[in-house]
Amino acid sequence: MDHQSEFIDNPVDIENSKPSKSKFLFHLGLFGFLLFAIGCNYGLWTRSYKSTEKIAVPESTTTSPKYN
């Protein structure tokens, strides 16, 4: 009983070529990192503080203070 495996040439299979696999994993990691960074920045932007009132600042605490 001779069991011979048949070799099928598949150029899309990344397991056949180490440079191809490395390049694929690099781009996958880069895409994932960029997606994460964009998602974090979008989350911070949508939840940013938006002032609804004008806050009165005492004149004695400004850059050029005015004392009475």
- Which carries the bigger pLDDT value, residue 68 or residue 20? 20
pTM of the model: 0.56
Predicted confidence band of residue 1 (pLDDT cuts 50, 70, 90): low
pLDDT digits (tens, 9 = 90+) for 41-50: 999 999 988 8
| Rounded CA separation 27/20 (Å) | 11
pLDDT digits (tens, 9 = 90+) for 8-19: 777 777 777 788
What pLDDT score does 68 carry? 66
| Rounded CA separation 68/65 (Å) | 10
pLDDT over 90, % of the chain: 38
